[in-house]
Structure 1
Amino acid sequence: MTLSPLQLAAIVSAGVPGIYPVGAEAVREDSGDFDSAIIADSAGRRWRVRAPRRPDASMRLEAEHLILQSFSPGLRARLPFAVPTVAGIVPYAGGNVFVYTHIPGSVYDVDQLAELSRREVAQGRPSLAAIIAKDIATLHVMPEDIIYEADLPSYSSEQIRRRKIAELERAAATGKVPADLLAHWQAVLSPGPMWQFRPRVVHADMGAENLVLEVTPSEARIVEVTGWSDVHVGDPAQDFAWLYSCEDIDFTDEAVEVYRQQMPQLPDAYLAQRANFYAEFAVAQWLTHTVETDDKDGATHAVSMLLDIQDDLRSSGELLGQEDTPPLMSGPQD
Structure 2
Amino acid sequence: MARSPFTLVAAVTAALPGAEVTGARALSAGGDGRFDSAIATLSDGRELVIRVAEDDEAAVELAEEALALRALTAGAREMLPFAAPVYIGETRVGDARALVTDLLDGFQIDAPDVPAGRGAAWSMGEATAAVHALPASVVRGAGLTVRDAAGVREELWQVVDRSAATGRVPARLTVRWRQAIEDDDLWRFETTVTLGGVEANSFLFADDPEAGPQVTGVIGWKGLAVGDPAVDLAWFSSAPDAADDVHAAYVRAADRGTDDALRVRARLHAELEFARWLLHGESLRRDDIIDDAAALLESLADGIRQELTLPAAGGTDVESAMDALDRMPAAEAPAVDTSMETDAYRPEQLWVEAEETDTADEADAEPSDADTEAQDADGEAVATDPDATGPTWGDATEDLSDISGVRGSSGSPARPAPETAAAEADTPIDASEEAQRAARAALQRWTNSGSE
Q: What is the CA–CA distance in structure 2 between the aligned matches of 1:9 and 1:168, rounded to whole Å?
A: 42
Q: What is the CA–CA distance in structure 1 between the aligned matches of 2:83 and 2:131, rounded to whole Å?
A: 12
What code does the residue aligned with 2:303 have? D
Match of 2:176 in 1: 184
What code does the residue aligned with 1:91 have? R
Match of 1:311 among 297, 302, 306: 302
1:36 counterpart = 2:62: no
What code does the residue aligned with 1:51 have? V
What code does the residue aligned with 1:144 have? A
What SS class does the counterpart of residue 62 from structure 2 fall into? helix
What SS class does the counterpart of residue 106 from structure 1 fall into? coil
What code does the residue aligned with 1:155 have? R
Contact conserved, 1:245 with 1:279, CA < 8 A, in 2? no
Q: What is the CA–CA distance in structure 2 between the aligned matches of 1:252 and 1:107, rounded to whole Å?
A: 17
CA positional deviation for 1:156: 0.9
Match of 1:234 in 2: 227
Question: RCO higher in 1 or 2 (8 Å CA, sep ≥ 6)?
Answer: 1
CA positional deviation for 1:293: 2.3
What SS class does the counterpart of residue 88 from structure 1 fall into? strand
What code does the residue aligned with 1:240 have? L
Contact conserved, 1:29 with 1:36, CA < 8 A, in 2? no
What SS class does the counterpart of residue 189 from structure 1 fall into? helix
Structure 1's 31 and 196: CA in aligned 2 closer, same or farther, altered over 3 A?
A: farther
Match of 2:367 in 1: none
Match of 2:164 in 1: 172
Contact conserved, 2:124 with 2:203, CA < 8 A, in 1? no
Number of equivalent positions: 307
Gaps of at least 5 residues in structure 2 are 310-452
What SS class does the counterpart of residue 79 from structure 1 fall into? coil
Contact conserved, 1:9 with 1:21, CA < 8 A, in 2? no
Match of 1:225 among 218, 227, 231: 218
Contact conserved, 2:69 with 2:87, CA < 8 A, in 1? yes
Structure 1's 263 and 49: CA in aligned 2 closer, same or farther, altered over 3 A?
A: same
Match of 2:56 in 1: 55
What code does the residue aligned with 2:273 have? A
Match of 2:290 among 282, 289, 299: 299
CA positional deviation for 1:224: 1.0
Match of 2:204 among 212, 224, 245: 212
In proportion to residue count, which structure has more helix?
Answer: 1
Match of 1:278 among 255, 262, 269: 269
Gaps of at least 5 residues in structure 1 are 321-334
Tell which structure's C-alpha radius of gyration is larger: 2
Q: What is the CA–CA distance in structure 1 between the aligned matches of 2:283 and 2:205, rounded to whole Å?
A: 36
Q: What is the CA–CA distance in structure 2 between the aligned matches of 1:216 and 1:167, rounded to whole Å?
A: 42
Contact conserved, 2:15 with 2:100, CA < 8 A, in 1? no
Match of 1:97 in 2: 98
Q: What is the CA–CA distance in structure 1 between the aligned matches of 2:119 and 2:98, rounded to whole Å?
A: 37
Contact conserved, 1:106 with 1:212, CA < 8 A, in 2? yes
What code does the residue aligned with 1:268 have? D
Match of 1:128 among 100, 114, 120: 120
Q: What is the CA–CA distance in structure 2 between the aligned matches of 1:4 and 1:188, rounded to whole Å?
A: 47
CA positional deviation for 1:205: 3.3
What SS class does the counterpart of residue 143 from structure 2 fall into? coil
What code does the residue aligned with 1:224 have? G
Identical positions, percent: 28
CA positional deviation for 1:298: 2.8
Match of 1:331 in 2: none
Q: What is the CA–CA distance in structure 2 between the aligned matches of 1:262 and 1:130, rounded to whole Å?
A: 10
Q: What is the CA–CA distance in structure 2 between the aligned matches of 1:53 and 1:21, rounded to whole Å?
A: 26
CA distances 1:267-305 after superposition (whole Å, capped 9, x unpaired): 111000010111111011101212332333332332222
What code does the residue aligned with 2:132 have? H
What SS class does the counterpart of residue 176 from structure 2 fall into? helix
With normalisation by structure 2, the TM-score equals 0.64
What code does the residue aligned with 2:142 have? A
In proportion to residue count, which structure has more strand?
Answer: 1
What SS class does the counterpart of residue 22 from structure 1 fall into? strand
CA positional deviation for 1:56: 3.3
1:159 counterpart = 2:151: yes
Match of 1:332 in 2: none
What code does the residue aligned with 2:293 have? A
Match of 1:67 in 2: 68
Structure 1's 128 and 204: CA in aligned 2 closer, same or farther, altered over 3 A?
A: same
What code does the residue aligned with 1:288 have? L
Match of 1:140 in 2: 132
Q: What is the CA–CA distance in structure 1 between the aligned matches of 2:308 and 2:234, rounded to whole Å?
A: 19
Structure 1's 190 and 212: CA in aligned 2 closer, same or farther, altered over 3 A?
A: same
Structure 1's 283 and 40: CA in aligned 2 closer, same or farther, altered over 3 A?
A: same
Q: What is the CA–CA distance in structure 2 between the aligned matches of 1:229 and 1:317, rounded to whole Å?
A: 31
Structure 1's 24 and 165: CA in aligned 2 closer, same or farther, altered over 3 A?
A: same
What code does the residue aligned with 1:276 have? R
CA positional deviation for 1:217: 5.2
